[in-house]
Chains A and B, each alone.
Chain A
């Protein structure tokens, strides 16, 4: 059977605790005035306290398998991303045991644990790291490639990334949320086929704290370039794009980027920016799931998923819903 790889299922998990932007400001977890961040579109974020990254990753992956009635044995590959090693297994409110790095405990990996606990008997495991908010895009890139080159049928991409419970909740004027997201990529998909993907890394900006101004400045032209490239790679025109499924960064920056792309703001799916904030790498896929569930995205529509990973990676997917 011929066909294109695509995204056949998405599920996500959020921590139980959530806070408003104003509550975060009162708790000293923001650098910017909460009112400014509200003007940028942020409302609430989810904060893991009792949960560990792995626990959320497990919940997201288990939900995906259950909702889609996926046979666990049919998964060929797990691509796991998130905090490394034992840090993934530590609840967010607990201090991390750095001593684990000095022992074989450092080889206790969440990806392999997930394979075991979900009964993914036939799945091998890969880890993806160092891509920040573009990590899930990196996972999908590998998944799609292996589907094509190795004939793998089903890849489960799982990501859980978050900050310690008491950490700051702002990254470059964006309010950050904790979340895990699982995405099933299949070699032959009837929906959400991946038409093209583009990934650009600029190592000059690797030290984001030292080059914060330069990164903010380079963000816009490089983002425009990447989105235009993925549209062209898919064989589309900008006018063909029905929806931009964003990473949940400030609405202000999205409006600017859309303006540079000559795309109307109405094509940006924004519902989750206020209610979830920026969940790092999960945003686009959580948003795609909700946009599909809510009926905003209809079969056959042309979607662009775009994200920027601090450190510094620009990435985009063209998807036919």
Chain B
């Protein structure tokens, strides 16, 4: 009896990693087909062209995870129910500054709607959910891959909503695997940045002398990962049967970079440009969270809009620096045969790329 061909239902295929995961899975399994859920068919056309996806193996259905039934018509649902064997759910609202209700609408309700629809897919064998390592929220210390606790609270609504989404997946009764990537910053080879996020925004504030202090100990480590590592990992592991019921942290882990070293590397890289070096912009002071909150309060009171915006943007993620944690990656490393690239192996390349593309201007409109 032959193994039936996989037909994978993708969400988030136009996002930071989803499309690359799809491309890699199609390349690895010539028999695999996919259906992508997209909100905008025109945008998907552009993405699929850019990814050079093989013709005839990927279909698109227009819908929205925020809507019950994914906003799919009955006519669309019937063939899906006949074919789909696996789900890779990568759609998410990754903006840290969203109000909780807005974050939940995509990150929690989106999972619920997808699980509801998938309940009518009799061939479904795997539900692969892309979460975040920062569901750990305000916890500190070693964060184990199997842990599900949310008792310490969260720094932002993104973290909380993704934590809640994980619970829905676990309680679904499906065969699931959960991936918890750390914050994705760039591609490992050339340091290219596909999509700006809070890290790039924070770097811009440091670069432009708008971030005088950070709430962190010198030894607190910055855990970020390259986009290609995360995409490759999910592509390889999403359908592996031996990972049923497992949570895998796709993090730098022991390759995370201490804040002090990260600032050293960053200032050294920027200082190679005379026009930046001559500004004499000081390195931010690392301080405790109480002092940092006093600074935030002072900026709010004195109310200069530019600095206030900068400090508010930092407030959605900078407090994570004051909550030192070390992500356990043993299960992911074992499944992949090795760890994520250490941050120090590509951080400087990313900085060079950012400067070369003038990211300070480009990132100004990006929400934290």
Binding site for B on A (CB under 8 A): 32, 36, 39, 173, 202-204, 211-214, 216-222, 224-225, 252-253, 255-256, 259-260
Contact = CB atoms under 8 A, between A and B. Distances in A.
A36 B290 CA distance: 21
B150 interface: no
Q: What are the nearest 6 A-B pairs in CB distance?
A: A221-B282, A204-B279, A214-B209, A213-B307, A259-B291, A217-B212
Contacts of A216: 212, 299, 302, 304, 307
Contact of A204 (B281, B284, B288): B281
A221 B287 CA distance: 11
Query: Is the contact region of chain A dominated by helix, strand, or loop, or is it mixed?
Result: helix
B283 interface: yes
Contacts of A220: 212-213, 285, 295
B50 interface: no
Contact of B211 (A39, A203, A217): A217
B302 A32 contact: yes
B310 interface: yes
B117 to A, nearest CB: 48
23 contacts: A32-B302, A36-B302, A203-B280, A204-B281, A211-B209, A212-B304, A213-B304, A213-B310, A214-B281, A217-B211, A217-B310, A218-B209, A218-B212, A220-B213, A221-B212, A221-B283, A222-B282, A255-B294, A256-B295, A259-B288, A259-B290, A259-B294, A260-B285
B212 A252 contact: no
A259 B280 CA distance: 23
A47 B22 CA distance: 72
B348 interface: no
A217 B291 contact: no
Interface of B: 208-213, 278-285, 287-288, 290-291, 294-295, 298-299, 301-302, 304, 306-307, 310
A204 B294 contact: no
Nearest to B291: A259
A204 B211 contact: no
A204 B281 CA distance: 8
A39 B210 CA distance: 24
Contacts of B209: 211, 214, 217-218
A283 to B, nearest CB: 20
Nearest to B205: A217
Contacts of B290: 259
Contacts of A256: 291, 294-295, 298
A212 to B, nearest CB: 6
B217 to A, nearest CB: 13
A246 B279 CA distance: 26
A214 B304 CA distance: 11
Nearest to A255: B294
Given A213-B306, A217-B210, 17 more contacts: A39-B301, A203-B278, A204-B279, A213-B310, A216-B299, A217-B310, A218-B209, A218-B212, A219-B212, A221-B285, A225-B282, A252-B294, A256-B294, A259-B287, A259-B291, A260-B285, A260-B291
B280 A202 contact: yes
Contacts of A217: 209-212, 307, 310
B146 to A, nearest CB: 39
Contacts of B291: 256, 259-260
A190 to B, nearest CB: 37
Nearest to B287: A260
A164 B283 CA distance: 37
B301 A252 contact: yes
Contacts of B304: 212-213, 216
B213 A214 contact: no
